[in-house]
A and B are shown apart, each in its own frame.
Chain A
Amino acid sequence: MPNCKTVVPFRGTPEQQARLTQVIEAHKGQPGATMPVLQAAQEIYGYLPEEVQIMVAEGLDIPLSEVYGVASFYAQFTMNPKGKYQISVCLGTACYVKGAAAILNAVEQKLGIAPGSITPDGKFSLDSCRCVGACGLAPVMMINNDVYGRLTPDQVGPILDMYK
């Protein structure tokens, strides 16, 4: 399972912690606060390592097990840091029947990493995702917020080269 404890050391800054504390204070005591707080925490830190989960649990005064339970349940939350460029290849049905598997394959070959992992230089991380909703453009790949549609495996290399 890729979503397990990371080996990358935690490098949170006091400034990040101050922002998280602010978010926690704003949500404390409200019903259903865990998810919005974790979503904000992931935006601040980029991922949810154990250290951040402990801060959330202590801040909201709920068991760490519950925070971990929520963080590990949803696909959006990640306990591993992401690359500078986050690649997600859509494997929704519309993309799949139009050959998304070959696109994913081409990215894997080009970068030498499997979905759910990151290149050693921290530049690219690769994930597959379920439908970005641009089915009219299938097959689709996203790099950070840029969407590339109507892809063929040949185009993958040149596109990735633009992100060096």
Chain B
Amino acid sequence: MIRSHILVCTGTGCSSSDSPKIIAEFEEQLSLQGMENEAKVIKTGCFGLCALGPIVTVYPEGACYVHVTPDDVEEIVSEHIVKGRIVKRLLHRGEVDAAPAASLSDTNFYKHQRRIALRNCGVINPENIEEYIAVDGYSALGRILTEQVPPQKVINDIKASGLRGRGGAGFSTGMKWQFTHDAVSEDGIKYVCCNADEGDPGAFMDRSVLEGDPFSVIEAMTIAGYAVGSHQGYIYVRAEYPIAVQRLNHAIAQAKEYGLLGENIFESGFSFDLELRLGAGAFVCGEETALLTSIEGHRGEPRTRPPFPPNKGLGQRPTLLNNVETYANITWILNNGPEAFASVGTEKSKGTKVFALGGKITNTGLVEIPMGTTLRTVVEDIGGGVPGGKKFKAAQTGGPSGGCIPASLIDTPIDYESLGAIGSMMGSGGLIVMDEDNCMVDIAKFFLEFVVDESCGKCSPCRIGTKRLLELLTKITEGNGEPEDLDTIEELCNHIKASALCGLGQTAPNPVLSTLRHFREEYEAHVYEKRCPAGVCKALIQYIVDPSKCKGCTRCARGCPTGAISGAVRAPHIINQSKCIKCGACMDHCRFDAIYKQ
């Protein structure tokens, strides 16, 4: 009899830190110690605590082991599985009480979360459809098809839930379904598509859903097909996500085998087929019209809207296009009722939102919070604050289309309207935390470099305008900024916002505008005082040896790639500024903290 289940995370983060080896080691140790019939190893999707990976959870105790290495496996098997004694040294420790937390849901990281879209991630084996069925999978589709619920009733439920698009813009999902349902297709063909081209750097929510719970997206797309009158779907997924692609392919094949996808589903007469299309690394393809053009096999350039995809999309036919996380909410809504969903969140933003927490934060990983949770809760309680005793400076949401939230606005509730009001946006869910060592001008420049690189070149405001903007920012970070540059930047930003063709171009100036709005004094320090307060912009900093701390050990001089450091042994050294390339190697080499930046 199987009495223990060993859940090992096989998301991209944990796989990168050896979880496949850990699984192999568990299987070997279980058979060596004669436990193969009493404990079972299960591969799951992401638990969310990526910073502590690889993660292994053992049920029924719910003990969560972190930073597990293949060498730890023998001990877990001999102590926990054989003798029933939890291996305390490997347990995840709650940040506040510092005592080992036996159960995951007791930790600060999970206490403030509410898992709807991620409900099955880390809980079920994403490669086994029966595990999905066991957690209410396919009950929504089954009920709708066998009871012949009218499509309009399904759409009404989605509308009543208040669900809005999780890709960033926040358009009402129910309305989108209604428009596609109402649109007339001349040859009767309509399409249902899923946007899994998660290109926003620093965001991996959709990837984790596809890796951890692919069936929920497939079931939701099938329901969408029934609701809007479509029999063919496409999932456009990034080729950079090999694990997600493999699990989706596997899941589609399994669903077909079980008669839950393909011809005559649940013997209801309704048919729906699904195909994958791999993206090829173009950020602009996250924009809906560009994505559809790319599925058609062309350069992924956007086109003007209207007509919107619900009227004219793929191959000029009515097309419903939703994001992965949006689909992941659908079956929960239909199983639990739209009222249950609408009871979570704020007045205008219902439900939860998944964020990928990254940057200067202790608990990097994946979190799902009710809408309206404050940024403070996310950063301080769930995220465990900024590591190394540094000060929280800003959080960036919405990636290259979003903006920065400064420390002074840390009590802002996270919902579509509040974030928009302070010049940021919800975005798809990347949330990058920055501390005092990050220069906001440099961050704005980083996002612009991204946009310049990824601009498709179809419209001139984006192709030329962002390039000019980047030149101005580069000028400032190199110490050549002039006072009028700041006004020129603002003016150019507003022109690009007003005239670019697609969402990518129109939002490209946001990182610049929001940092200018909240951190203008930092721009001014670069321009007027030729100083980078965070010590990041190379042209504006100097590395200096503090003679009172320098012991003359010569480590820095030996580590300097340009030979810019001189000095006798046991006498304070000096950096020749004209030779220094500001690589910072000396600072890394110094053991006495004697080198500082100014």
Contact = CB atoms under 8 A, between A and B. Distances in A.
A131 B430 CA distance: 11
A97 B438 contact: yes
Contact of A132 (B240, B297, B358, B396): B240
Nearest to A94: B358
Interface stretch (A15-23, A146-154, A156-164): A146-154
Contact of B364 (A74, A105, A131, A135): A135
Scoring B200, B300, B359, B438 by chain A CB atoms within 10 A of each residue's CB, the highest score goes to B359
Given A131-B202, A135-B204, A98 B359 contact: yes
Given A98-B360, A137-B16, A74 B300 contact: yes
B446 interface: yes
A134 interface: yes
B17 A149 contact: yes
Contacts of A135: 13, 50, 202, 204, 356, 358, 364
B463 to A, nearest CB: 14
Interface string A74-91: 111100000000000001
Given A74-B280, A131-B202, A147-B16, A153 B588 contact: yes
B300 to A, nearest CB: 7
Given A32-B296, A93-B202, A130 B432 contact: no
Contacts of B204: 131, 133-135
B203 A131 contact: yes
Contacts, number: 138
Given A75-B280, A77-B280, A93-B359, A109 B13 contact: no
Contacts of A92: 201-202
A133 B297 CA distance: 25
B164 interface: no
Interface size class of B (residues with CB under 8 A): 35 or more
B297 A96 contact: no
A134 B202 contact: no
Interface string B354-367: 00101110001100
A66 B296 CA distance: 13
A10 interface: no
Interface in B398-451: 399, 430, 432, 434, 438, 443, 446-447, 450
A117 interface: no
A133 B239 CA distance: 12
A94 B359 contact: yes
Contacts of A133: 12-13, 198, 204, 207, 240-241
Interface in B13-41: 13, 16-17
A136 interface: yes
Contacts of A31: 296-297, 315
B297 A131 contact: no
Contact of A76 (B202, B280, B296, B298): B280
B435 to A, nearest CB: 9
B283 interface: yes
Contacts of B434: 97
B519 to A, nearest CB: 15
Given A93-B432, A96-B446, A131-B202, A136 B364 contact: yes
B239 A93 contact: no
A102 B536 CA distance: 12
Interface in B561-595: 561, 583-585, 588
A92 B438 CA distance: 15
B432 A34 contact: no
A70 interface: yes
A20 to B, nearest CB: 17
Interface string A100-114: 001001000100000
Interface string A1-41: 00000000000000000000000000000011111101100
B159 interface: no
Interface string B276-299: 011111110000000000111111
B199 interface: yes
B456 interface: yes
Interface string B438-478: 10000100110010000010000000000000000000000
Contacts of A74: 279-282, 300
Contacts of A75: 280-282
Scoring A66, A96, A109 by chain B CB atoms within 10 A of each residue's CB, the highest score goes to A96
B383 interface: no
A38 B297 CA distance: 10
Contact of B16 (A69, A96, A131, A149): A149
Nearest to A93: B202
Interface in B257-285: 277-283
A34 B280 CA distance: 12
Interface string B175-213: 000000000000000000000001111111001000000
Contacts of B297: 31-35, 70
Interface of B: 12-13, 16-17, 50-51, 53, 198-204, 207, 239-241, 277-283, 294-300, 315, 356, 358-360, 364-365, 396, 399, 430, 432, 434, 438, 443, 446-447, 450, 456, 561, 583-585, 588
16 contacts: A31-B315, A34-B298, A35-B297, A69-B299, A70-B297, A76-B280, A97-B443, A105-B583, A129-B240, A130-B283, A131-B199, A133-B198, A133-B207, A134-B16, A134-B204, A135-B50
Across chains A and B, which 6 residue pairs bring their CB atoms closest together, nearest first? A136-B50, A94-B358, A75-B281, A92-B201, A74-B280, A93-B202
Interface of A: 31-36, 38-39, 66, 69-70, 73-77, 91-94, 96-98, 102, 105, 109, 129-138, 140, 147, 149, 153-154
